[in-house]
A and B are shown apart, each in its own frame.
Chain A
Amino acid sequence: KNQVEQSPQSLIILEGKNCTLQCNYTVSPFSNLRWYKQDTGRGPVSLTIMTFSENTKSNGRYTATLDADTKQSSLHITASQLSDSASYICVVSFSGTYKYIFGTGTRLKVLA
Protein backbone atom coordinates (compact mmCIF):
# COMPACT_ATOMS: atom_id res chain seq x y z
CA LYS A 1 0.00 0.00 0.00
CA ASN A 2 1.31 3.44 -0.92
CA GLN A 3 1.78 5.41 2.28
CA VAL A 4 3.64 8.37 3.70
CA GLU A 5 4.27 8.43 7.44
CA GLN A 6 5.66 11.35 9.38
CA SER A 7 7.13 11.67 12.83
CA PRO A 8 6.80 13.10 15.32
CA GLN A 9 3.14 14.10 15.14
CA SER A 10 3.91 17.23 17.11
CA LEU A 11 6.96 18.98 18.44
CA ILE A 12 7.61 21.92 20.75
CA ILE A 13 11.00 23.64 20.76
CA LEU A 14 12.49 26.89 22.00
CA GLU A 15 13.33 29.68 19.63
CA GLY A 16 16.86 29.40 18.30
CA LYS A 17 17.02 25.63 18.62
CA ASN A 18 17.33 23.16 15.74
CA CYS A 19 14.94 20.32 14.96
CA THR A 20 14.53 17.46 12.50
CA LEU A 21 11.30 16.10 11.11
CA GLN A 22 11.06 12.63 9.59
CA CYS A 23 9.19 11.19 6.63
CA ASN A 24 9.05 7.52 5.60
CA TYR A 25 7.31 6.46 2.41
CA THR A 26 6.38 3.31 0.57
CA VAL A 27 5.28 4.98 -2.67
CA SER A 28 6.33 3.15 -5.81
CA PRO A 29 7.26 3.99 -8.48
CA PHE A 30 8.72 7.12 -6.90
CA SER A 31 9.01 10.39 -8.77
CA ASN A 32 9.74 13.14 -6.29
CA LEU A 33 9.26 14.24 -2.70
CA ARG A 34 8.31 17.67 -1.48
CA TRP A 35 8.07 19.26 1.91
CA TYR A 36 5.26 21.76 2.39
CA LYS A 37 4.75 24.26 5.17
CA GLN A 38 1.19 25.03 6.25
CA ASP A 39 0.54 27.97 8.52
CA THR A 40 -2.65 27.86 10.58
CA GLY A 41 -5.64 28.80 8.45
CA ARG A 42 -3.62 28.93 5.24
CA GLY A 43 -2.93 26.63 2.33
CA PRO A 44 0.28 24.56 2.15
CA VAL A 45 3.31 26.16 0.50
CA SER A 46 6.18 24.18 -1.03
CA LEU A 47 9.56 24.42 0.70
CA THR A 48 11.69 21.94 -1.25
CA ILE A 49 11.50 19.29 -3.94
CA MET A 50 13.78 16.28 -4.18
CA THR A 51 14.04 13.78 -6.99
CA PHE A 52 15.42 10.26 -6.88
CA SER A 53 19.01 11.30 -7.52
CA GLU A 54 19.19 14.12 -4.99
CA ASN A 55 20.45 13.61 -1.44
CA THR A 56 20.29 17.10 0.04
CA LYS A 57 18.62 20.37 -0.78
CA SER A 58 18.55 23.60 1.18
CA ASN A 59 16.16 26.53 1.26
CA GLY A 60 17.46 29.09 3.71
CA ARG A 61 17.28 27.60 7.20
CA TYR A 62 15.49 24.52 5.86
CA THR A 63 17.54 21.52 4.70
CA ALA A 64 15.89 18.41 3.30
CA THR A 65 17.60 15.07 2.86
CA LEU A 66 16.52 12.02 0.92
CA ASP A 67 17.66 8.40 1.11
CA ALA A 68 15.94 6.67 -1.80
CA ASP A 69 17.28 3.27 -0.74
CA THR A 70 15.66 3.34 2.68
CA LYS A 71 12.78 5.53 1.46
CA GLN A 72 13.33 8.12 4.14
CA SER A 73 13.47 11.88 4.10
CA SER A 74 14.12 14.44 6.78
CA LEU A 75 13.61 18.17 7.10
CA HIS A 76 16.07 19.97 9.32
CA ILE A 77 15.27 23.45 10.59
CA THR A 78 18.21 25.48 11.83
CA ALA A 79 17.99 28.29 14.38
CA SER A 80 14.22 28.11 14.63
CA GLN A 81 12.10 31.25 14.67
CA LEU A 82 8.61 31.89 15.97
CA SER A 83 7.42 32.07 12.36
CA ASP A 84 8.44 28.44 11.87
CA SER A 85 5.42 27.41 13.96
CA ALA A 86 3.31 25.51 11.44
CA SER A 87 2.49 22.06 10.14
CA TYR A 88 5.07 20.47 7.87
CA ILE A 89 3.72 18.00 5.34
CA CYS A 90 5.71 15.47 3.35
CA VAL A 91 4.25 14.80 -0.11
CA VAL A 92 5.39 12.01 -2.43
CA SER A 93 4.38 11.72 -6.06
CA PHE A 94 4.22 8.72 -8.33
CA SER A 95 6.22 8.37 -11.48
CA GLY A 96 3.94 8.27 -14.50
CA THR A 97 0.91 9.85 -12.89
CA TYR A 98 -0.01 13.15 -11.36
CA LYS A 99 -1.23 11.81 -8.06
CA TYR A 100 0.34 12.79 -4.79
CA ILE A 101 0.36 10.98 -1.45
CA PHE A 102 0.32 13.26 1.58
CA GLY A 103 1.63 12.53 5.05
CA THR A 104 -0.49 13.65 7.99
CA GLY A 105 2.11 16.23 8.94
CA THR A 106 4.17 17.29 11.93
CA ARG A 107 2.86 20.21 13.96
CA LEU A 108 5.76 22.35 15.11
CA LYS A 109 5.44 24.99 17.78
CA VAL A 110 8.34 27.33 18.50
CA LEU A 111 8.25 29.07 21.85
CA ALA A 112 9.94 32.34 22.77
Chain B
Amino acid sequence: DAGVIQSPRHEVTEMGQEVTLRCKPISGHDYLFWYRQTMMRGLELLIYFNNNVPIDDSGMPEDRFSAKMPNASFSTLKIQPSEPRDSAVYFCASSLQGKVPGELFFGEGSRLTVL
Protein backbone atom coordinates (compact mmCIF):
# COMPACT_ATOMS: atom_id res chain seq x y z
CA ASP B 1 0.00 0.00 0.00
CA ALA B 2 1.23 3.47 -0.85
CA GLY B 3 0.20 4.94 2.49
CA VAL B 4 -1.56 8.25 2.99
CA ILE B 5 -0.81 10.59 0.12
CA GLN B 6 -0.91 14.35 0.51
CA SER B 7 -0.44 17.14 -1.98
CA PRO B 8 1.10 19.56 -2.41
CA ARG B 9 4.13 18.91 -0.19
CA HIS B 10 4.96 22.61 -0.13
CA GLU B 11 2.81 25.62 -0.81
CA VAL B 12 3.82 29.26 -0.71
CA THR B 13 1.09 31.79 -1.22
CA GLU B 14 0.23 35.37 -0.51
CA MET B 15 -2.18 36.55 2.14
CA GLY B 16 -5.74 36.54 0.89
CA GLN B 17 -5.29 33.72 -1.60
CA GLU B 18 -7.24 30.46 -1.50
CA VAL B 19 -5.32 27.33 -0.53
CA THR B 20 -6.50 23.76 -1.13
CA LEU B 21 -4.72 20.80 0.42
CA ARG B 22 -5.49 17.28 -0.72
CA CYS B 23 -5.39 13.86 0.87
CA LYS B 24 -5.83 10.30 -0.29
CA PRO B 25 -6.25 7.95 2.71
CA ILE B 26 -5.22 4.32 2.88
CA SER B 27 -7.75 2.14 1.09
CA GLY B 28 -10.19 0.52 3.48
CA HIS B 29 -9.64 2.96 6.34
CA ASP B 30 -12.87 4.38 7.72
CA TYR B 31 -11.56 7.42 9.60
CA LEU B 32 -9.76 10.44 8.22
CA PHE B 33 -8.21 13.20 10.31
CA TRP B 34 -6.77 16.60 9.46
CA TYR B 35 -4.13 17.99 11.83
CA ARG B 36 -2.09 21.19 11.93
CA GLN B 37 1.40 21.20 13.40
CA THR B 38 3.34 24.23 14.61
CA MET B 39 6.39 24.54 16.81
CA MET B 40 4.46 26.34 19.50
CA ARG B 41 1.34 24.17 19.67
CA GLY B 42 2.40 20.78 18.32
CA LEU B 43 -0.23 18.69 16.54
CA GLU B 44 -3.78 20.00 16.74
CA LEU B 45 -6.84 18.20 15.45
CA LEU B 46 -8.83 20.28 12.99
CA ILE B 47 -11.54 17.88 11.89
CA TYR B 48 -12.20 14.20 11.45
CA PHE B 49 -14.50 12.11 9.26
CA ASN B 50 -16.02 8.67 9.68
CA ASN B 51 -17.12 6.98 6.46
CA ASN B 52 -16.89 10.34 4.66
CA VAL B 53 -19.13 12.12 7.19
CA PRO B 54 -17.65 14.95 9.30
CA ILE B 55 -17.91 13.95 12.96
CA ASP B 56 -16.11 16.69 14.85
CA ASP B 57 -14.99 20.00 13.39
CA SER B 58 -14.57 21.82 16.68
CA GLY B 59 -10.87 22.25 15.98
CA MET B 60 -11.37 24.23 12.80
CA PRO B 61 -10.01 27.68 13.70
CA GLU B 62 -12.65 29.78 11.99
CA ASP B 63 -14.95 30.02 9.00
CA ARG B 64 -12.01 30.53 6.68
CA PHE B 65 -11.30 26.82 7.04
CA SER B 66 -13.45 24.14 5.43
CA ALA B 67 -12.98 20.43 4.76
CA LYS B 68 -14.77 17.96 2.55
CA MET B 69 -14.64 14.25 1.91
CA PRO B 70 -16.70 13.57 -1.23
CA ASN B 71 -15.74 9.89 -1.29
CA ALA B 72 -13.75 7.29 0.62
CA SER B 73 -10.54 7.97 -1.27
CA PHE B 74 -10.29 11.75 -1.27
CA SER B 75 -10.47 14.69 1.11
CA THR B 76 -9.66 18.39 0.86
CA LEU B 77 -8.87 21.10 3.37
CA LYS B 78 -9.47 24.60 2.08
CA ILE B 79 -8.41 27.92 3.54
CA GLN B 80 -10.03 31.02 2.07
CA PRO B 81 -8.76 33.67 2.50
CA SER B 82 -5.38 32.60 3.84
CA GLU B 83 -3.51 34.61 6.49
CA PRO B 84 0.15 34.52 7.63
CA ARG B 85 -0.86 32.88 10.93
CA ASP B 86 -2.09 29.87 8.93
CA SER B 87 1.50 29.01 8.10
CA ALA B 88 2.10 25.50 9.45
CA VAL B 89 2.44 21.89 8.37
CA TYR B 90 -0.92 20.26 7.71
CA PHE B 91 -1.14 16.51 8.13
CA CYS B 92 -3.77 14.10 6.99
CA ALA B 93 -4.05 10.76 8.79
CA SER B 94 -6.28 7.76 8.28
CA SER B 95 -7.21 4.90 10.55
CA LEU B 96 -9.17 1.69 10.69
CA GLN B 97 -11.08 1.76 13.93
CA GLY B 98 -12.24 -1.20 15.95
CA LYS B 99 -13.26 -1.56 19.57
CA VAL B 100 -10.41 0.73 20.57
CA PRO B 101 -9.01 3.76 18.74
CA GLY B 102 -6.70 2.47 16.06
CA GLU B 103 -3.27 3.46 14.87
CA LEU B 104 -3.09 6.71 12.96
CA PHE B 105 -1.25 6.52 9.65
CA PHE B 106 0.03 9.94 8.67
CA GLY B 107 0.87 11.39 5.32
CA GLU B 108 4.09 13.32 4.78
CA GLY B 109 2.35 16.64 5.34
CA SER B 110 1.78 19.82 3.38
CA ARG B 111 3.98 22.70 4.49
CA LEU B 112 2.07 25.96 3.99
CA THR B 113 3.72 29.36 4.03
CA VAL B 114 1.49 32.41 3.75
CA LEU B 115 3.38 35.61 3.05
From known contacts A43-B91, A98-B95, A102-B42, infer whether A32 and B106 are also in contact, taking CB-CB under 8 Å.
no
- Check if B45 is an interface residue, CB within 8 A of chain A: yes
- Closest B residue to A87 by CB, please name it: B42
Q: Which residues of B contact A (CB under 8 A)?
A: 4, 31, 41-45, 48, 50, 55-56, 91, 93, 95, 97, 100-101, 103-104, 106-109
B106 touches A100 (CB 8 A): no
- In the A-B complex, the 7 residue pairs with the smallest Cβ-Cβ separation, listed nearest first, are A43-B106, A93-B101, A104-B42, A102-B43, A46-B103, A44-B106, A43-B108
Q: How many residues in A have their beta carbons less than 8 Å from beta carbons of B?
A: 25
For A42, give its contact among B44, B48, B108 (CB under 8 Å): B108
**Inter-chain contacts of B95 with A (CB < 8 A):** 98
| A105, closest chain B residue (CB) | B42
Question: Quick one: closest A residue to B55, CB to CB?
Answer: A98
